Structure 1
Amino acid sequence: MGYRIINGQAFQVGNVGGLENKSSVNKKVNNEGDFKDILNKAIDKKEGYTLSKHAAERLKAMNFSENDMKNIEKGFKLAEEKGAKNSVMVYKDVAIIASVENKTIITAVDKNRAQSNVFTNVDSVVIL
């Protein structure tokens, strides 16, 4: 009797023509859920966006609804289509500073706080 190494794990080899423990090899090689889970995670990263802790606190204080968040997602798509990397999105009376590349809202500033502010490192403005 010998051993065959598959994916870093030793399996006993019985007969010359095959593996004695085929079912355990199939379980190791054929994890149906693994590839599907990885693919779904990759797809999820392409959709939606994330909020920084700072932005989440600000938007919560401004009473942003789920519908507002969906509209902001449209802004990300518009900016991405134009090749923007960092953008200011103007939505209602709020300036939202976002990294389009990372799909992250960095911060949000309402019009009362935005007076006399300068936004730097921004390559686009999206008006929603």
Structure 2
Amino acid sequence: MKIENSQFLSNLQVNGQLPVNKTIPRQQIGTGLSFQEVLSRTTEAEQQVTELKFSKHAAGRLIDRNIELSEAQMERLQEGARNAGQKGIKDSLVIVDELAFIVNVPNKTVVTALDQTEARGNIFTNIDGAVIA
């Protein structure tokens, strides 16, 4: 049923959100990229983790626990987060050497960090998967 040509007024027309004589423009179909190309580009962009951020909490944990990441460890952490994203994991436990990180993959953010002594005996909840990097 078309709202514009109906003899009865809709709630949208009464509230002034859809004037009686106004037509809704249709979106033009572009002749650019195919659906498959757009889908693959969007998927690739979502899955790529270029650089991780550390939340305020995680940065504080690193300082409190005297944890310093080497460049190689940071690269492995990023690679672990990237691999988690490729598998569709949203919240991941990433283990690098004797360190454990909880990473929110869509936001590219390290949520918290633990060293081996604190990680031992801990139960990690609210994660979709784990990556050993």
TM-score range (shorter-chain normalised) is 0.5 to 0.7
Structure 1 counterpart of 2:105, which letter?
V
CA distance in 1, matches of 2:55, 2:90: 17
Aligned: 1:59 with 2:62: yes
Say whether 1:109 aligns with 2:124: no
Distance 2:96 2:50 in 1: 20
Unaligned segments of structure 1, at least 5 residues? 1-41
Q: Secondary structure at the match of 1:125?
A: strand
Aligned-partner Cα distance in 2 for 1:46–1:74:
8
Larger relative helix fraction: 1
Matched ranges for 1:4-83 at <5 A: 47-60=50-63, 61-83=66-88
- The aligned counterpart of 2:13 is none
What residue in structure 2 maps to residue 122 of structure 1? 127
- CA shift digits 1:32-71 (9 cap, x unpaired): xxxxxxxxxx9xx962111012222333521212222121
The one-letter code of the counterpart of 1:64 is: L
Report percent identity of matched pairs: 40
Indicate if the aligned counterparts of 2:49 and 2:78 stay in contact, CA closer than 8 A.
no
Would you say the 8 A contact 2:90–2:128 is kept in 1?
Answer: yes
Q: Secondary structure at the match of 1:120?
A: coil
The answer to which structure has the higher strand fraction is 1
TM-score, L = length of structure 1: 0.60
Q: Which amino acid counterpart does residue 74 of structure 2 have in structure 1? A: M
RMSD over equivalenced CA pairs, Å: 2.0
Count of matched residue pairs: 85
Partner of 1:8: none
For residue 126 of structure 2, give the secondary structure of its aligned residue in structure 1: coil
Per the normalisation by structure 2, the TM-score is 0.57
SS at match of 2:122: coil
The amino acid across from 2:128 in the alignment is: D
Deviation of the 1:116 alpha carbon: 2.6
Quote the Cα distance in structure 1 between the aligned partners of 2:61 and 2:73: 14
